[in-house]
Chains A and B, each alone.
Chain A
Amino acid sequence: METFAHRHLLDIEGLTRSEVERILDTAKAFFEVSRRPVRKVPTLRGKTVINLFYESSTRTRTSFELAGKRLSADVINMNISASSVSKGETLQDTCRTLAAMHPDVVVIRHWAAGAPNYVASRIDCSVINAGDGMHAHPTQALLDAFTIRRHRGTLENLVVTICGDVAHSRVARSNANLLKLFGCEVRVVGPRTLLPAAVDSLGVRVYDRLDEALEGADVVMVLRIQSERLEGALLPSLREYARTFGIGAKAMALAKPDAIVMHPGPMNRGVEIESEVADSDRSVVLSQVESGVAVRMALLYLLAGEATESPAIGEVG
């Protein structure tokens, strides 16, 4: 079998369409493992995966942990809270410490954009970005793609509407990058205070009105609204947000009849999404969680199962 051409997964940028397809196809093979009575294969026996989490995260960390364990890797979780950062170990020292433990893969979630790139340049192992600041969340984009393909049969030429806080969302950036590879029309909609600068540069269509943005959509991706956005004059109230951009049954009626609704979680019911949608048969939120384990198993396998010296995914210049 042909080796995977990257050592790290730092970003969707830098992945080709066929590489994405390879990851998704590999995930498909692993998907079934999680539904077996004995949910474990020996693929990564003797390999060490360190989950290095600088931000609290339940689902992503759990998903990576399960993925590693189901592949028989030794998985260690390091949760570095904000308080121990303020006590002063630098990322440089943390990298040195980790390197001395000889991991095969470091999975990093960090509040600072670019921190995974930093770690990848300083530890001699594969690095997977599990979300860095507002920059990228490539495994989320891949699991979303897997979920879409599973429910819609294809990723090609779909209309995907991303709703809400695009400005602060690494999920939106990575999804837009991935979906463009498959010719999708990516739309973003939300109050202008929650759209990033030069939003057009993401290659997306920008809408001010939810009804127009949802018309004819195959996929509706709902982003989480953080209540801290009320500070800094970005939103007047969650009430007004829910009323203007929240996704309820009425809004979904504008999308295609077989459109699906996605949410990276955790959901704020009654704010960005109504329970009538979140719990409907159009919602694939739990399928996303299940896909997440399979996609992360595929990535661990591709990166740690066959380590190469090739350039990282998402390394620029």
Chain B
Amino acid sequence: MLTQPTPSIPLILRGGRVLDPSSGLDETADVVIEAGRIRAVGRDAGAAFSSNENVRVVDVQGSWVCPGFVDLHVHLREPGEEYKEDIASGLSAAAAGGFVAVCPMPNTHPINDNRAITEMIVTRAQELGGTRLLPFGAVTKGQKGAELTEMADLREAGAIGVSDDGLCVMNAAVMRHAMEYARTFDLLVSQHCEDHHLTKGAQMHEGARSTRLGLRGWPRAAEDIIVARDLILAELTGARYHVAHISSLGAVRLIREAKSRGLRVSAEVTPHHLLFTDEALLNYDTYCKVNPPLREAEDREALLEALADGTIDCIATDHAPHSDLEKDCEFETAAVGINGLETAIASLLQLVRDEVIKPLRFVEALSAAPGRLIPDFEGGSLREGRRADVTVIDPDLRWILTEEALRSKSHNTPLLGRELTGRPSMTVVGGAVAYELERS
């Protein structure tokens, strides 16, 4: 296996607000990185190293220094749809978005349902360096919902979990066996919870607004039914089960109940479900067409509350790049998905400023919490000796989101053209600087 080059020069991040949920730390301190590891954290911890000439000191006063962010749900489109994104552009966007690791879903062409594809994308990412790529393999061959993939192979090749992504595993017996089999190899089983029988032709959340717009609805029930069924199967099998991009208040209730009984279940939520409702669709804005759909205010409130109290473990972007051709068209023809890697932090910081989410919990939901769901993950903490995965955020930087500002090949986001406040300014992966914001 290829390894990342580990710089030998120590890096000192001096005077930032250090937020480390793994130790509850929230104070002004230096973070010293050496030989790919966190060497020291503390007030003036950098002083002892600064006398050394061969050291890089970065003044990060006013910025937040956090354990590196991890995105459990992205689409990098390679192999097969490189016109939307590829591994190089996707990982570059991830680094600029503050992510030290991303987990691409297997819905590539061909589908990542075997060792060869997993090895290909993992190797490609290692050649590129920077943000790590920790892929999901498919649950079933061809994401067809019938035969299990060779999960031992997938795991050995580098897969951290399995998911059939947008194609929910509809057959309960297949899902049961997938959970049992995945448990054998300690793979996380992530499910896109959608009863496809209930969502034929669906374009948006089912409710007053879908009726007003004349678009076919995607009822909450289609999500809740699968979450309920899968929680029962998770209890039966003991699998580590994960609800991808949770969107309905009913699903939140079900997860909360399951966790109260100690089940090993988890959930992620996207920035767009935390920030928008189906009201954003009233002018048929295809940039807001996404699956699961943007729902109503009461769902959004439930998601925010559940993220704050830990019922929802983590934030994942579901970064879904699409070209103009796939979005500049009839709403019903438009592809589903929002480009999210480079806007997640900037857009979500509003929730911190509004005191909906506390800073430490915000950082945890992006770092330690997703890290815990990945087998043998070494990042997610700024404790001494841990791998030096670090994200630095300038929380006050104002910038305008333009197409040119994005490293992603696509720019399908409803935030395009908006002024945002806050932005990742440095991303350190295993001690190496993978991204650094150029200040004008």
Chain A residues at the B interface, C-beta cutoff of 8 Å: 13, 90-92, 110-115, 117-118, 132-136, 170, 173, 196-199, 201-202, 232, 315-317
Contact = CB atoms under 8 A, between A and B. Distances in A.
B214 A173 contact: yes
Interface in B219-259: 219
Interface in B193-228: 200, 203, 206-208, 210-217, 219
Contacts of B325: 90, 92
Contact of A317 (B212, B283, B332): B283
A317 B281 CA distance: 10
A133 B200 CA distance: 16
B331 A114 contact: yes
A118 B203 CA distance: 16
A133 B283 contact: no
B282 A134 contact: no
B211 A197 contact: yes
Contact of A201 (B208, B215, B329): B208
29 contacts: A90-B328, A91-B329, A91-B333, A110-B330, A111-B332, A112-B331, A113-B213, A113-B332, A114-B213, A114-B330, A115-B330, A117-B283, A118-B330, A118-B331, A132-B214, A134-B214, A134-B215, A173-B212, A196-B210, A196-B211, A197-B206, A197-B208, A197-B217, A201-B207, A202-B212, A315-B283, A316-B282, A316-B283, A317-B283
A201 B214 contact: no
Chain B binding surface SS class: loop
Interface residues of B, number: 24
A114 B203 CA distance: 12
B284 interface: yes
Instruction: Please give me the 5 A-B residue pairs with the lowest Cβ-Cβ distance, nearest first.
Output: A135-B214, A114-B284, A201-B208, A134-B214, A112-B330
A201 B213 CA distance: 12
A112 B203 CA distance: 11
A81 to B, nearest CB: 16
Contact of A112 (B210, B217, B333): B333
A110 B331 CA distance: 12
A110 B333 CA distance: 12
A113 B219 CA distance: 19
B110 to A, nearest CB: 24
Given A117-B283, A197-B219, A316-B282, A91 B211 contact: no
B214 A133 contact: yes
A201 B331 CA distance: 22
Contacts of B331: 112-114, 118
Contact of A198 (B207, B216, B332, B333): B207
Nearest to B284: A114
A113 B284 contact: yes
Nearest to A168: B214
A115 B286 CA distance: 12
Contact of A90 (B215, B329, B332): B329
A117 B211 CA distance: 17
Contacts of B284: 113-114, 117-118
Most buried by A among B203, B213, B215: B213
Interface string B83-111: 00000000000000000000000000000
B168 to A, nearest CB: 19
B214 A136 contact: yes
Contacts of A90: 325, 328-329
Task: Pick from A91, A110, A196 the residue with the most CB of B within 10 Å.
Answer: A196
Contacts of A317: 282-283
A197 B329 contact: no
A256 to B, nearest CB: 29
Given A112-B332, A198-B207, 20 more contacts: A91-B330, A92-B325, A110-B330, A113-B203, A114-B331, A114-B332, A117-B283, A118-B284, A118-B330, A136-B214, A196-B210, A196-B211, A197-B211, A197-B219, A198-B211, A201-B207, A202-B211, A315-B283, A316-B282, A317-B282
B207 A197 contact: yes
Determine which residue in A113, A173, A316, A317 has the highest number of CB atoms from chain B within 10 A of its CB, and name it.
Answer: A113
Nearest to B331: A114
Nearest to A315: B283
A48 B103 CA distance: 54
Candidate in A13, A111, A133, A199 with the most chain B CB atoms within 10 angstroms: A133
Given A92-B328, A315-B283, A317-B283, A113 B215 contact: yes
A232 B215 CA distance: 17
A202 B213 CA distance: 11
A238 B332 CA distance: 29
A201 B217 CA distance: 15
Interface string B252-288: 0000000000000000000000000000001110000
A232 B283 contact: no
Given A117-B283, A317-B282, A201 B332 contact: no
Nearest to B214: A135
Contacts of A316: 282-283
B313 to A, nearest CB: 31
> Which of B203, B206, B207, B331 has the most CB atoms of chain A within a 10 A radius of its CB?
B331
B297 to A, nearest CB: 14
A260 B175 CA distance: 56
B33 to A, nearest CB: 48
Contacts of B215: 113-114, 133-135
Contacts of A115: 330
Nearest to B325: A90
A232 B200 CA distance: 9
A201 B216 CA distance: 16
Nearest to B216: A134
A135 B283 contact: no
A170 B214 CA distance: 7
Interface in B15-59: none
A7 to B, nearest CB: 16
A315 B284 CA distance: 10
B283 A201 contact: no
A40 B203 CA distance: 44
Contacts of A91: 329-330, 333
A184 B210 CA distance: 24
Contacts of A198: 207-208, 211
Nearest to B211: A196
A198 B210 CA distance: 9
Nearest to A137: B214
